[in-house]
Amino acid sequence: MPSINVQENGDGTTRTVAIPERTITSVVSNVIQVTGTLTSTTTSHEFDWKCSEGVFICSGTFDNATISLQQYIGTEWVTFKNGQKSLAGGFRFSSPAPKLRVLLQNHSSSSSLYYHVETIVAL
């Protein structure tokens, strides 16, 4: 299971936290971090998005699978431009949509893809 160092309450202290599938790891003020793993048994994850700019990264065992970041517009899920990956990578995006979804497609039983979505906050 992946782990991540999480900063606590802005006081500079950190702790290592195990990240189970489909877990929102942090929501602090305007910062949203969503991390998880998609497999043949867990093929999508929807979450609220109350920000505009973010970054999406992914890696893992693709085995011909694709992973996509999509935004909910009107009544449809729309994949971001350059938002479908068949190899490890990532991209920066901007969206006013109220919800986002990470979607695994064309997967095999050995596909296991880690993803991370996070807001970009100007300091």
CATH of the domain at 102: 2.60.120
Structure-token pair, residue 40: 């043949």
**Number of domains into which the chain is organized:** 1
Q: Do residues 69 and 56 touch, judged by C-beta distance below 8 A?
A: yes
For residue 43, which of 1, 103, 116, 114 has the smallest C-alpha distance? 103
Element (H, E) at 92: strand 89-94
Structure-token pair, residue 6: 């999480």
Q: Could you tell me the residue range of the domain that residue 93 belongs to?
A: 3-119
Enter the pTM of the model. 0.74
Rounded Cα–Cα distance for residues 81 and 93 (Å): 9
What pLDDT is recorded for position 97?
93
**What is the rounded average pLDDT of the residues 73-90?**
93
Whether 26 has a pLDDT exceeding 70, the answer reads no
Whether 17 has a pLDDT exceeding 60, the answer reads no
Whether 122 has a pLDDT exceeding 70, the answer reads no
For residue 119, the SS3 value is strand
Q: 24-28, 64-68, 93-97, 118-122: which range is least confident on average? A: 24-28
Whether 58 has a pLDDT exceeding 70, the answer reads yes
